[in-house]
Structure 1
């Protein structure tokens, strides 16, 4: 990974940064990747964001397939290169089709086979485009997922929007040699 920020390593980290680095490296992530390259410059933010991120990524009531679909829809909304690069392979492993991810990446409406995927996509895109969720869509999502999971989904979207903004602001990229998923402005 690369970014426009000064790299923080175990050797260069201060005491608080080392504590947070240790927590991140020994947690479910196991690496200092993505937004943590930036957040480690503010250990208090990194510590708090890590806890929220671990919940959003690993402990919501959504199946991984649906949470990754929501994350990719967020990455496309923000045109976040690294967020897409990190989560597209995870989404495919979780069962989201290549056709769906490519449609989302290019701004087209995907052709969903699964109703739960269609609902996640509709809810996510409506919220990002209108800044609200219509009553009909809200009731449909509440019926499908239940209120606790719906609340968790909105939290997940907020967290990954924060991730996308962080990655974009600090030009965080994966050094893959592959073309970037989104055209740079």
Structure 2
């Protein structure tokens, strides 16, 4: 994968000092660290400056990441589509290896990252990509794509897919707006 590298910009947020955290901030941090994520990588140290938003968003995120009813591979594929659409450096950096480990083919991920149409061997992968792409391109999902999603996954999981796409768009917007990078990130998947 060709990657550009650049020194990360300074975050637009003040550094968070846990020693001076409010009780609300400490409660959010404790819940995140004791949950399935187990780390604060991503938007959490940005959201922590608004603890009510942080608490609601991290709970929604835990649902969208772990309990949508989609297999991990499909969830991560949808997240990669979102990260690429928003050109979210940290979101891609965090989720790309998770997606590969979950079974998203490297060639598919690279096509998504570079803005090319992937070639799919799996019908479910093609459906998730079509659904997400239509929603991002037209702000709608066509009747045929919607019906394919409902026929394959049911209404509840299709609703959850929309929630997953919306949540990770929020993550990308947060990371981009506040110029946040992932822990240890030195290479950028998207040109700035």
Q: TM-score range by the shorter chain?
A: over 0.9
SS in 2 for 1:147: helix
Q: How does 1:10-159 map to 2 (within 5 A)?
A: 10-159=18-167
Which residue matches 1:4?
12
Are the aligned partners of 1:76 and 1:105 in contact in 2 as well (CA < 8 Å)?
yes
TM-superposed deviation, 1:31: 1.5
* CA–CA separation in structure 2 for the residues paired with 1:23 and 1:7: 20
Matched, 1:183 2:191: yes
* CA–CA separation in structure 2 for the residues paired with 1:112 and 1:131: 23
TM-superposed deviation, 1:14: 1.6
Are the aligned partners of 2:91 and 2:182 in contact in 1 as well (CA < 8 Å)?
no
Unaligned 5+ runs, structure 2: 1-7
* CA–CA separation in structure 1 for the residues paired with 2:37 and 2:180: 17
Cα RMSD, aligned residues only: 1.4
TM-superposed deviation, 1:89: 0.3
TM-score, normalised on structure 1? Answer: 0.95
Q: Deviations over 1:63-106 (max 9, x none)?
A: 00000000000000000000000000000000001100000000
Are the aligned partners of 1:10 and 1:21 in contact in 2 as well (CA < 8 Å)?
no
Unaligned 5+ runs, structure 1: none
Q: Name whichever of 65-74 and 11-20 sits farther off.
A: 11-20
TM-superposed deviation, 1:41: 0.3
Are the aligned partners of 1:85 and 1:181 in contact in 2 as well (CA < 8 Å)?
yes
TM-superposed deviation, 1:10: 2.1
Q: Deviations over 1:3-57 (max 9, x none)?
A: 3311223212122111211111111111122110110000000000011000000
TM-score, normalised on structure 2? Answer: 0.92
